[in-house]
Structure 1
Amino acid sequence: MPEDSAAVTMFRMVIAQGRSLIHQRDEIERLAHARLADDVDYQLLRNIPGIGPINALTILAEAGDLRRFNHHRQFLKFCGLDLATCQSGTFRGRTRLSKYGNARLRRTFWMAAQVAARQRDNSFRDKLGRYIAGHADDADRRRKAMTALTAKMARVAHAVIKTGTEYRPFLERSDARWKDPSLQVP
C-alpha cells in the first residue's frame, strides 16, 4: 500500500489513539498510587492477583468502607453478584445473577477475575481449572466459571479488608497432604 493511502492514514490514527489511551491509563494509575499509597485498604487490595491501582481505586470509591458489611453475602448483594430465582406459585424459573447491585463494582471484579485467571499460581486460576475440567470447549461453562471467579474475587476482597490480613495465594491447611501428591497416604 502506498504511504499516503487512506488505509495507512486510518491505521496511524488508530495507533495514535491507542497510545493516547495507554498514556491516560498510566497517568491514572500513577495518580491513584500517589494518592492512596498510605491507605492500608488500598495496599491490601493491591496484593490480590488481578487487582491493580485502578481496580483498587474503583473498589474503594464505589464500595466505601467494606467493613460495614457484616457478611460477605451482603457485599455480594451490594455488587449484584448474588443469585436470584424468578418464581410464581409452582413455577420456578432459572437461577441467575440478580444484577441489582453496583454495576461498576461488578465490572471491576469481572475484569480483575479475567486478569487473575491468566496469571500463574493463584487460587483463582485453580478454581477456573477445576470448574472447566473436562469441558474446555464449552463456552457456557467457561462463562459460568468466570462468574464464579468474579464472586470469589469480591469475597476475597471483602475478607482481606475486613480482617486486615494480606492475601495468601493458597489457604494453608493443617493437613499438608491435600496439595502435595508425594505426601498422599496410599
Structure 2
Amino acid sequence: MTCRLQLTRYLQLSQMRAELERQADALLAAHPDYQRLRTVPGIGPITALVILAEAGDLRRFGHHRQFLKFCGLGLAKSQSGACQSRERLSKRGNARLRCALWISAMAAVRMRENAFRDKYIRHVAGSRGRDLQP
C-alpha cells in the first residue's frame, strides 16, 4: 500500500514538472538569454528559469568573473600568518544560483558525450592521488 502511494505521488510530481517545463519553455522561448542557456549541456527549462530569475539580466555582467563572484563561485584564498591554504570557492553569493549551476554541471558531467565531461575527465586524471573535495 505504501509503495503504491509513493509511486502515485512520484507520477503526480513528474506530471507537474513536465507542465512546469512546458510553461517555462512557452514563456521564455523568445528570450535570448534563455535560448543561450538552453544550449549548455545539463541546463533544462526549469534550471534556465531559475538562473534567469536569480541572476536577472545576464548582460549586466561585463566579465565572466563578475558573474562567478555574484554566484559565489569565485576562488578565495585563506591565509593566517605563516599558514596558507589552497584556494576554495568563496561561497559568498547567491546560494540558489550556485546550487542550480552546480546541479547542472553534475548533470553535464554524467552525460555521455559533451565538452564538459571531457574536460572533467582530464581534470580528474591530472589530479590522481589528490583529494578533489575541499
**1:121 pairs with 2:113:** yes
For the structure 1 residues 42 and 133, does the alpha-carbon distance in structure 2 shift closer, same or farther, using more than 3 Å as the test? same
Following the alignment from structure 2 to structure 1, what is the Cα–Cα distance between the partners of residues 7 and 122? 39
**Residues 140 and 11 of structure 1, relative CA distance in 2, 3 Å threshold:** farther
Match among 43, 46, 65 for residue 54 of structure 1: 46
Match of 2:85 among 78, 82, 93: 93
TM-score normalised according to structure 2 size = 0.89
Partners of 1:139 and 1:19 lie apart in 2 by 42
The residue that corresponds to 2:15 in the other structure is 23
Which segments of 5 or more consecutive residues in structure 2 lack a partner in the other structure?
none
**Structure 1: which 5+ runs fail to align?**
1-8, 145-186
Instruction: Map 1:22-171 onto structure 2 (within 5 A).
Output: 22-133=14-125, 140-141=131-132, 143=133
Q: CA RMSD in A?
A: 2.1
Q: Percent of pairs identical after alignment?
A: 56
**AA of the residue aligned to 2:20:** I
The alignment's TM-score, normalised by the length of structure 1, stands at 0.65
Corresponding residue SS for 1:99: coil
2:114 counterpart letter in structure 1: N
Q: Secondary structure at the match of 2:43?
A: coil
Question: Per-residue CA shift, 1:104-157, capped at 9, x if unaligned?
Answer: 111111111111112233210111110122778x7943x57xxxxxxxxxxxxx
In structure 2, C-alpha distance between the alignment counterparts of 1:21 and 1:11, rounded to whole Å = 15
Divergent runs of 4+, >6 A:
none
Q: Distance in 2 between the 1:69 and 1:62 partners?
A: 14
Deviation at 1:31, TM superposition (A): 0.8
Distance 1:30 1:82 in 2: 33
Task: Confirm or deny: 8 A CA contact 2:33 2:58 kept in the other structure.
Answer: no
Per the alignment, do residues 26 and 78 of structure 1 end up closer, same or farther by CA in structure 2, a change over 3 Å counting? Answer: same
- Greater Cα offset, 16-25 or 89-98: 89-98
Question: Larger C-alpha radius of gyration, 1 or 2?
Answer: 1
SS, match of residue 87 in structure 2:
strand
